[in-house]
A and B are shown apart, each in its own frame.
Chain A
Amino acid sequence: MNANLSPLRSLMPALAVLIILALVPALGPSNRMLSLAISAGINIVALYGLSVLFGQTGILSMGHAALVGVGAYAAALLARDTGIGFWVALPLGGIAAAAFAAVIGIPSLRVSGHHFVIMTFAFGQLLTIVLTNGGDYTGAATGLDLQLPVTFFGSRADDLLPYYFVVLAFVTLSAIASWAIINSPYGRTLRAIRENEKLAASLGINVGRHKIGAFVVSGVFAGVSGVLLAYFLRHISPSQFASFPSIYLALMVMIGGARLLLGPIAGGILVSFLPEVLNLDPVQSRILYGVCLIAVILLLPNGLIAGLADGWQRLFGASRKQAPSPAAGGKHASEAGR
């Protein structure tokens, strides 16, 4: 991995992983594995939104699950009240979550740093309270059911296997969208804000507007992920979108590495499958997540993949290739996904 790779080549590792994932059903995985993979994929779609926000712009949101919830509730309400199905609900869910993100973002981004994180946390918590107190309209604490089928050109796509491919398609779309953002002038603007807000502002970048923009973009990803989630679970309730799920999303993106294109995929898969591989119960696995998060933050602040890439480069990179860019040491490896 090198810093002066053409942008297209930086997409290749992610595409390679996605092609491998598309071949996985050929191995005949069990239903349990498939449903784990689907929920991991749904998380990854949301994580790509979070990686644009946190990895590129440097804003940490603790209300991301609430945005997922907006998408999920939009899907369920649309299906119940208007009969609008999966494919139309997808963009509408994304738009709803983006609009909600704007509503949260405009006041929240008046404050920065920790204050902002706590604001997003509070908005997430408020949404849960509103949904719980929403009476019959939002189904109160029990939540809503969703019965409409998912069809794809006339054939049912609800079963695990077809739905796996639907979710995988959206993971691919999110990865490509995220890649496009990272390699666009817009992505550079966001990174400028991340690195030095004051400097960015002095160059004529409208920092406030771009931050809200990044928040709205992350909302689109979250909303789409919410629609996918609602049609997968078929039942949604407020507690799924409270502040703790938001913490888990932040944890996944940080374990994987927020700045890398592969980070969300790595984080989502790792966090979903590690407990299964190690045969842990949910309580033990959550303890493990927490410990992993703390260890990653203290030891590998750029996430696991970047940490591995750095280690690889330190071990083999220097001896294999003397030049062309000796400066492209560990620091660049962690940013190679750009």
Chain B
Amino acid sequence: MDILIQQILNGLSIASVITLIAVGVTLIFGLTGIINFAHGEFLMIGSIVTWLAVQAGLSFYLALVLAILAVGAMGFVLERGLFRFTLTRPTNGFIVSLGLIVVLQHIIIFFYDPNQKSIPRPLTGIWDVGGVRIASVRLMVILVTIAVVALTFAMVTRSRYGRALRAAVDDRDTAALMGIPVRRYITGVFVLGSALAGLGGALLIALFPITPFTGGTMVMKGFAVALIGGLGNLTGAVVAGLILGIVEGFSAGYGFSAWTDAYSFALMILVLLFRPNGLFGGTSGPKMA
């Protein structure tokens, strides 16, 4: 039982990173209609930035902030430079993002070789709570994720910007007439989603060593979670991330760790079969006429 709780905690810490991807993916799709498959590479670059900063002697937390800023800036450039031109043809945007996967991954391999990269654990403490050993770094990852996701959620549902954004999703033209700078908001959402990927990357390398190929598997899981919850649905993404974390934790606890990677895909296929809109109902993205 103790081992099970521990495995579930482990599962949840990885699921936190996946949830950050899923929230980014779902946010970007729900509010801009862009499907960015290169989101996993954004995450990987976040990890690489963290790794470089820590190697340069900066503290992990400073490195984390740098990763968020760097990946956010990259998101800005790529949205303005590439995705902007595909807004009316989302399939093209999707294909562009596939090209970006190849480009970003191999640029990193070109400059920093394809080998594993790791940083010393930023937190080394391990607490013993009634026989369950909790690594503080895992708890930190879970707590940071909860805080950031809650903040994002509040921003989208409560703030003035969030309301304006959702108005723009419902009816672009009217929103524009009301003085909402729709284009700028789309860029803003893309940058926010990218920054979340940067944060996810920093948290991921605090948990595990990464390689330039990490992004590929992580983005698939992120998309799986986003689709299970319903693409475009923030709450759905968070709940689905939680489910995946628990399922993966259970499976590792009962000795099926070789199949861990299969669950997210199998779960997604099952959910899409019976509820093509996801468990909590997705959106079809904004209409980009």
Q: What residues of chain A have their CB less than 8 Å away from a CB belonging to chain B?
A: 60, 62, 107, 110-111, 113-115, 117-119, 121-123, 125-126, 129-130, 133, 243-244, 247-248, 250-251, 254, 283-284, 286-287, 289-294, 297-298, 301
Contacts and interface: CB of A to CB of B under 8 A. Distances in A.
A322 B196 CA distance: 57
Nearest to A107: B273
A294 B272 contact: no
Contacts of A286: 102, 105-106
Contacts of A248: 102
Given A126-B262, A287-B102, A118 B227 contact: yes
Interface residues of B, number: 40
Interface stretch (B89-97, B116-124, B137-145): B89-97
Contacts of A113: 91
Contact of B272 (A111, A133, A251, A301): A111
Contacts of A243: 216, 220
B273 A110 contact: yes
A293 B99 contact: yes
Interface string B100-140: 11110111011000000000000000000000000000000
7 contacts: A115-B272, A126-B262, A287-B103, A289-B99, A293-B102, A294-B103, A297-B96
A283 B110 contact: yes
Contacts of A121: 220, 223
A290 B224 contact: no
Contacts of A115: 227, 231, 272, 276
A294 B96 contact: yes
Contacts, number: 113
A107 B273 CA distance: 6
B2 interface: no
Contacts of A250: 95, 98
Nearest to B98: A247
Interface in B193-248: 216-217, 220, 223-224, 227, 231
Nearest to A118: B223
Nearest to B269: A122
A292 B223 CA distance: 25
A219 B276 CA distance: 24
A62 B94 CA distance: 12
B85 interface: yes
